[in-house]
Amino acid sequence: MTLSPDASGATDSGKGERIAKRLARAGLCSRREAERWIADGRVVVDGQRLTTAAVLVTPASLILVDGKPVAEPDRTRLWRYHKPAGLVTSHSDPEGRPTVFDHLPADLPRVISVGRLDLGSEGLLLLTNDGELARRLELPATGWVRRYRVRVHGTPDKAQLAGLDRGITVDGTVYGPIKAVLDRQQGSNAWLTVSIKEGKNREIRRVMEHLGWTVSRLIRIAFGPFQLGLLNPGEADEVAGRVLKEQLGQDHAHHRRAP
């Protein structure tokens, strides 16, 4: 079979789909990681070692990564996972710290995370076998609110909290609207409920510290329509297929069906 170059990046169901997208759908990696794998010479399609990601593949294509065949993508699946503090949200850590993926329940297939939680953060982390879904849910355009319970050291000022709804700039980084509500003050500590849409790197910690309050616990309790609920630390629970379709719409479900 002759590989089809495709410089535009568009996918035509009559011709196939981009190789990076195909690897992401198989749950192996993100599109960006797939492009790095190709640059490193790790991907072979129908006997040809790829040098560019601008290649279209079809269900008939034989795809190898590191010499191992890549199976057809499974149906899209999503799990809620209660990430404990002290784990890195990465498949490997150069510093040798324990990772989320080292501590997942044994019955989970290979999954990737939807976004990340910092080493010291805990709570709801969504996991999926579909890299395209992870990419879609991470985009700010999806508009899903991430909600957190946050314990800070200090006495938060309600007027300052209300002002976060207009957004804030910290050390040159512009953060969008943040909804922050004081739940209770306990001595020198306070509990807040904080809701954001973007989730930039260490956003809540940086904003709170900028206002003079040090974050001592940060627990994500919701990501869009999905809740942490009563999951214990380290537990994972699969989202029912029916619920997934309701929340994601039919377009993604259709996207995953094999031709």
Q: Structure tokens of 156?
A: 């938060």
The DSSP 8-state label assigned to residue 157 in this structure reads -
Q: Which amino acid appears at position 114 of this protein?
A: V
Q: Taking a C-beta distance cutoff of 8 angstroms, is the pair 192, 156 a contact? A: yes
Can you list the alpha helix ranges (DSSP code H) found in the chain? 19-25, 31-39, 131-138, 158-163, 203-210, 241-248, 250-256
Set 46, 74, 93, 118: catalytic member: 118
Residue holding tokens 């938060």?
156
Closest CA to 107 of 248, 236, 222: 236
3-state secondary structure of 109: coil
DSSP state of 27: T
118 is an active site residue: yes
Stated as kind and residue range, the H or E segment containing 3 is none
Residue 54 makes CB contacts below 8 A (sequence gap 6+) with 5, 6, 7, 9, 18
CA nearest 123: which of 81, 182, 180?
Answer: 81
Coil vs helix vs strand at 256: helix
- Tokens matching residue 158: 């309600």
User: Which residues are designated catalytic?
Assistant: 118
